[in-house]
Amino acid sequence: MEFNTICVMGLGYIGLPTASTFASRGIKVIGVDANPRVVESLQNGHVHIYEPGLRELVSESLASGNLIIRNQPKPADAFIIAVPTPFYDDKKADMRFVRSAAEAIAPFVRQGNLVVLESTSPPMTTCGIVAPILERGGMKAGEDFYLTYSPERVLPGQILRELIENARVIGGVNHSSAEAGRDLYRIFVKGEIILTDATTAEMVKLMENTYRDVNIAIANEFSRLADRFGIDVWEAIRIANLHPRVKILNPGPGVGGHCISVDPWFLVEAAPDIATLIRTSRQVNDSQPEFVIRLIQQVLGKDLHGKRIAVLGLAFKPDVDDLRESPAVDIARHLAAKGAQVKAFEPNKPDAEIEGVPAVDSLSKALEDAELVLVLVGHKEFRSLEATQVVKQTPARLLVDAVNVMPAEAFKQAGFRVFRLGVGHEL
Ligand code: SAJ
């Protein structure tokens, strides 16, 4: 199948890189977003999200005329839906963006067109939600037009490279739909393209992120057990991972971001009677911030009123600026709510304004009058800190490391007492 024009619905972390990568291959791309501010800013050449290399790629695509930005779809050979699927407070998937994107393209889908859903979605979304909306006009998915599910699997920070190099799963409502999807992504994908059915592809995406969540949950539970038994979980995991068939991930302050901390709930919602391990793992990871706070109370005493704590890192993981669902934010907020005098510093977003989290815009301001330094994210700015320099910038002599990135010996020699999450004793 040949594609001259593609319409991409949703210009966020996935839609915008995908639209501009197609445009860079000479395809005419109509990028559509429902948010007028996103449309206006892109039309003026401003890229609203940070991802290495994206600004340049979008600028080139706009300048070449291959990418145009609009608030409404237009006729095209293929339509890609890449809108967010957040969840409600009760952890049920919020499918409103997927529904409204499908409704918006429905009047434009013609005989022989291809429609792809990329948004992470609960099983059966393609067949159960998207197909019926598109079929309202009388056409049949798989017969009159092609319909596929093809999940994004790219890692924030490496999106443009992984988009091209990663293996791509394409699940069709029938085989000819999957083949049409393959023809589309072959335009830029260099990785293997695997064809399957739509619901399997939906499951694959959820299984990948759920597997990672469950693996981190067991690491976090091991950290609690290690603490109880007075041993060092990091050392125990390192040794266990020498076994050729064991690969335990790292414990930490919890699991954040908009993917791994969200997606497993879609399986719990779809089959609550079966997905018990998945639910428990989510609960373990969501409660991990409490164990960091407990550790701080072991070091400073139960009453945290007036205690001066420098919180290093607020992002959901190292070397990104994304604060969504971040356990570090959660911890900083709880410490402040318990009366501690928190000064939090996020080097990738020094001007962050977060409700309930007193933040400062430099490391020295965070450290200057602290009594305890708490490291919550393994950013390179913190990993490279020299103990002999830190000791000159702060009256604090207590260091709590929740992510195992600070060299304990060097900090001890510089005069600190050092504590680490998952280690049942002072280092
Ligand atoms: N984390 C740990 N311990 C670890 C690894 C991670 O506590 O050993 C924490 C991180 O600090 C972070 C959270 O887990 O808070 C998630 O980080 P991550 O790097 O594991 O994953 P994401 O959310 O940035 O990206 C994931 C990726 N999925 C997998 O690796 C299976 C990515 O490929 C997906 O495209 C992305 O989710 C997505 O969009 O679904």
Cβ of 208 closer than 6 Å to ligand 1, yes or no, is yes
How far, in Å, from the CA of 256 to the mean position of ligand 1? 8
How far, in Å, from the CA of 322 to the mean position of ligand 1? 12
Rounded average pLDDT over 145-161? 93
pLDDT above 90: residue 344 = yes
Cβ of 214 closer than 6 Å to ligand 1, yes or no, is no
Rounded average pLDDT over 326-351? 96
Cβ of 155 closer than 6 Å to ligand 1, yes or no, is yes
Rounded average pLDDT over 46-61? 91
Protein residue with its CA nearest to atom 25 in ligand 1: 155
How far, in Å, from the CA of 5 to the mean position of ligand 1? 33
Cβ of 212 closer than 6 Å to ligand 1, yes or no, is yes
Task: Give the ligand 1 atom nearest the CA of 327.
Answer: 15
Cβ of 310 closer than 6 Å to ligand 1, yes or no, is no
pLDDT above 90: residue 90 = no
Cβ of 250 closer than 6 Å to ligand 1, yes or no, is yes
Cβ of 317 closer than 6 Å to ligand 1, yes or no, is yes
Can you give the pLDDT at residue 95? Answer: 95
Q: What is the pLDDT of residues 159-186, one digit of tens each?
A: 999 999 999 999 999 999 999 999 999 9
pLDDT band of residue 97 (cuts 50, 70, 90) is: very high
Enter the CATH code of domain 5-191: 3.40.50.720
How far, in Å, from the CA of 153 to the mean position of ligand 1? 11
Our mutation pick for probing the ligand 1 site, out of 51, 121, 155, counting the most ligand atoms within 8 A of Cβ, is: 155
Cβ of 156 closer than 6 Å to ligand 1, yes or no, is yes
Task: Give the ligand 1 atom nearest the CA of 208.
Answer: 31
Cβ of 264 closer than 6 Å to ligand 1, yes or no, is no
Can you give the pLDDT at residue 37? Answer: 94
Enter the CATH code of domain 229-420: 3.40.50.720
Can you give the pLDDT at residue 295? Answer: 96
Can you give the pLDDT at residue 89? Answer: 83
Rounded average pLDDT over 388-402? 96
pTM above 0.85, yes or no: yes
Give the 3-state secondary structure of the chain.
CCCCEEEEECCCCCHHHHHHHHHHCCCEEEEECCCHHHHHHHHCCCCCCCCCCHHHHHHHHHHHCCEEEECCCCCCCEEEECCCCCECCCCCECCHHHHHHHHHHHHHCCCCCEEEECCCCCCCHHHHHHHHHHHHHCCCECCCEEEEECCCCCCCCCHHHHHHHCCEEEEECCHHHHHHHHHHHCCCCCCCEEEEEHHHHHHHHHHHHHHHHHHHHHHHHHHHHHHHHCCEHHHHHHHHCCCCCCCCCCCCCCCCCCCCCCHHHHHHHHCCCCCHHHHHHHHHHHHHHHHHHHHHHHHHCCCCCCCEEEEECCCCCCCCCCCCCCHHHHHHHHHHHCCCEEEEECCCCCCCCECCECECCCHHHHHCCCCEEEECCCCHHHHCCCHHHHHHHCCCCEEEECCCCCCHHHHHHCCCEEEECCECCCC
Cβ of 259 closer than 6 Å to ligand 1, yes or no, is yes
Residue 383 CA, distance from chain mean position: 22
pLDDT above 90: residue 87 = no
Protein residue with its CA nearest to atom 34 in ligand 1: 153
How far, in Å, from the CA of 316 to the mean position of ligand 1? 9
How far, in Å, from the CA of 1 to the mean position of ligand 1? 35
How far, in Å, from the CA of 227 to the mean position of ligand 1? 25
pLDDT above 90: residue 103 = yes
pLDDT above 90: residue 84 = yes
Q: What is the pLDDT of residues 225-243, one digit of tens each?
A: 999 999 999 999 999 999 9
Please provide the average confidence, as pLDDT, over all residues in the chain: 96
Active site residues: 205, 259
Share of the chain above pLDDT 70, in %: 100
Task: Give the ligand 1 atom nearest the CA of 260.
Answer: 23
Can you give the pLDDT at residue 258? Answer: 86
Q: List the beta bridge partners of residue 312.
A: 345, 375
Can you give the pLDDT at residue 244? Answer: 97
Cβ of 117 closer than 6 Å to ligand 1, yes or no, is no
Can you give the pLDDT at residue 36? Answer: 95
Can you give the pLDDT at residue 88? Answer: 86
Our mutation pick for probing the ligand 1 site, out of 255, 281, 331, counting the most ligand atoms within 8 A of Cβ, is: 255
pLDDT above 90: residue 131 = yes
Residues of the chain with CATH 3.40.50.720: 5-191, 229-420
Task: Give the ligand 1 atom nearest the CA of 205.
Answer: 40
Rounded average pLDDT over 133-145? 96
Can you give the pLDDT at residue 132? Answer: 98
Q: What is the pLDDT of residues 252-306, one digit of tens each?
A: 999 999 899 999 999 999 999 999 999 999 999 999 999 999 999 999 999 999 9
pLDDT above 90: residue 48 = no
